Chain A
């Protein structure tokens, strides 16, 4: 089943999100008709959806669905071949500086400098955003306290655990006070507690700071019924909307069943954790 896209136009004063609820102002992230090819192979085809400010949107897809390609396009690591990506109304191709300064991102692979300390990694990131040293130190202290690493500012990153590294990456992504946060498989390789901690923290950011979050995952248990959901499969969107609506429209009993039904996969071939 392929749902019709509930297209929202970034920049409209009243915009309709994935769940059909309206919100004032621009979409935190608007992806309109994005397609991307690697040579003859199409990785994404006509992908459109929006992420509302102060919302948690899960991007669910199996390995190879095109999630990382989509993230590379949103972060301007790749150029947009077809379609449009905008962050709070700023087109990533036309106004990359304005768009990227509103964006925090946690990539799937670790992107920390292992030889530098926790604080040094944060200061480097702050400098890349033009934040002066004094302001950066203040912000570093704030984000480290918020993320529970206030006692490790001088530790070498390579001495941190996997969960701590991920938390540091989230702290780094928040350092320049973005309004949209992208996390690509941020909990991969972590134990259950670390996963829960990180997920809880990110959900807290949505509520407390009004940050729009796009959370790419292939794990069903990271998604709750009230989340917005985009199901990406083989480069195409199969469904989007509030989780309960997607499940209901797929006439399934839960998200796992709905996903299997929509993608035509079985638990054996699907590869996603139940």
Chain B
């Protein structure tokens, strides 16, 4: 086969080829998830511990008044469930970014980045794949929670899906953005301390914001500007068939900002080339 007689391939990619690429990335993420059963179990155990132990313990301490979207008094377990759903997605987003750091260190990431598909599209596919995994985890949690008398209206299981996809995309793109700035796997522990815990605790996941405002106005404002708060509220309202427009706008806006940041960070002319080759390479 001489180059002179090789037919020129058509420029660009067809819609079907883009779809094939998306399928391939989601399929690979799914396979990895299946191979890492302990990841699935730990993703479920964490929120279940909060639900079964923490919520039960605080039930008598933290009274919940009637606040939207709830139309009656609710148990504390019911209140924190949307926060725990978002927590699953937060940890999954960070787990995905951890795997991206690992893949980059191990070299697997190169397989993705040397694909001829546009890089923004590859990252978006990876993001969608991670979100799909997190949504599966959330529904598994909701199934277990149902036996614990966490019973949102049946339609809520459907209406929460778009909210989960959006919040999953936001938290996944945040993780992707963070992963672009981490050079070594060891540095990822800092993400736990400086991103996950502050985001989770300074939000409406565990306590309503009016309660926070009573205790600390400063913390209240921090919670208000925390994107995770809006992910929680978007899920909370959607789980009851309602819409929180402010949260929707914030989540969409933050997703766009984080995604653009991640694409720029993984752009070879801006991000990766400032670092040297991986260890051992010459």
Are B24 and A210 interface neighbours, CB within 8 A? no
Are B114 and A75 interface neighbours, CB within 8 A? yes
Among listed A104-112, A146-154, A190-198, A222-230, interface-contacting one: A104-112
Are A79 and B277 interface neighbours, CB within 8 A? no
- Chain B 8-19 near chain A by CB (<8 Å), digits 1 or 0: 010111101110
Are A97 and B2 interface neighbours, CB within 8 A? no
Number of interface residues of B (CB under 8 A): 51
Cross-chain contact of A128 among B14, B112, B275, B277 (Cβ < 8 A)? B112
Are B113 and A113 interface neighbours, CB within 8 A? no
Cross-chain contact of B269 among A93, A98, A100 (Cβ < 8 A)? A93
Q: Cβ of A102: which chain B residues have Cβ within 8 Å of it? A: 9
Does A248 reach chain B (CB closer than 8 Å)? no
Q: Which residue of A lies closest to B32 (CB)?
A: A115
Among listed A58-66, A238-246, A251-259, A262-270, interface-contacting one: A58-66
Does A137 reach chain B (CB closer than 8 Å)? no
Are B13 and A53 interface neighbours, CB within 8 A? no
Cross-chain contact of B24 among A36, A105, A127 (Cβ < 8 A)? A127
List residues of chain B with CB under 8 Å of any chain A CB. Answer: 1-4, 6, 9, 11-14, 16-18, 20-21, 23-25, 27-28, 31-32, 35, 106-108, 110-119, 122, 267-270, 272-278, 280-282
Are B110 and A111 interface neighbours, CB within 8 A? yes
Are B31 and A24 interface neighbours, CB within 8 A? no
Are B2 and A77 interface neighbours, CB within 8 A? no
- Name, among A43, A76, A93, A110, the residue most crowded by chain B CB atoms within 10 Å (CB to CB): A76
Given contact pairs A103-B114, A111-B111, A132-B17, a sample of 17 additional A-B residue pairs in the complex whose CB atoms are under 8 Å apart: A36-B273, A68-B277, A72-B277, A76-B114, A77-B273, A78-B273, A79-B273, A97-B116, A107-B110, A116-B32, A129-B21, A129-B115, A130-B18, A179-B6, A184-B281, A208-B1, A212-B3
Q: Cβ of B117: which chain A residues have Cβ within 8 Å of it? A: 97, 128-130
Are A130 and B9 interface neighbours, CB within 8 A? no
Q: Cβ of A66: which chain B residues have Cβ within 8 Å of it? A: 282
Are A210 and B2 interface neighbours, CB within 8 A? yes
What is the minimal beta-carbon distance from A172 to any residue of chain B, in angstroms? 8
In the complex, A62→B25 CA distance in Å?
A: 37
Cross-chain contact of B11 among A64, A98, A210 (Cβ < 8 A)? A98
What is the minimal beta-carbon distance from A263 to any residue of chain B, in angstroms? 14
Q: Which residue of A lies closest to B276 (CB)?
A: A38
Given contacts A108-B281, A109-B278, contact A77 B110 (CB under 8 A): yes
Given contacts A61-B282, A127-B24, contact A101 B110 (CB under 8 A): no
Cross-chain contact of B21 among A98, A127, A179 (Cβ < 8 A)? A127
Are A107 and B107 interface neighbours, CB within 8 A? yes
Q: Is the interface of A mostly helix, strand, loop or mixed?
A: loop
Are A109 and B106 interface neighbours, CB within 8 A? yes
What is the minimal beta-carbon distance from B10 to any residue of chain A, in angstroms? 10
Q: Cβ of A110: which chain B residues have Cβ within 8 Å of it? A: 106-107
Given contacts A98-B11, A115-B35, A127-B23, contact A210 B272 (CB under 8 A): no
Q: Cβ of A80: which chain B residues have Cβ within 8 Å of it? A: 269
Does A214 reach chain B (CB closer than 8 Å)? no
In the complex, A186→B15 CA distance in Å?
A: 35
Does A19 reach chain B (CB closer than 8 Å)? no
Cross-chain contact of A111 among B23, B31, B32, B108 (Cβ < 8 A)? B108
Pairs across A and B, CB under 8 Å, 24 listed: A25-B3, A38-B276, A54-B3, A65-B282, A66-B282, A68-B281, A76-B113, A77-B114, A78-B272, A93-B269, A96-B116, A96-B119, A97-B116, A97-B117, A100-B115, A109-B281, A115-B35, A116-B31, A127-B27, A128-B111, A130-B20, A132-B16, A132-B20, A210-B1
What is the minimal beta-carbon distance from A50 to any residue of chain B, in angstroms? 13
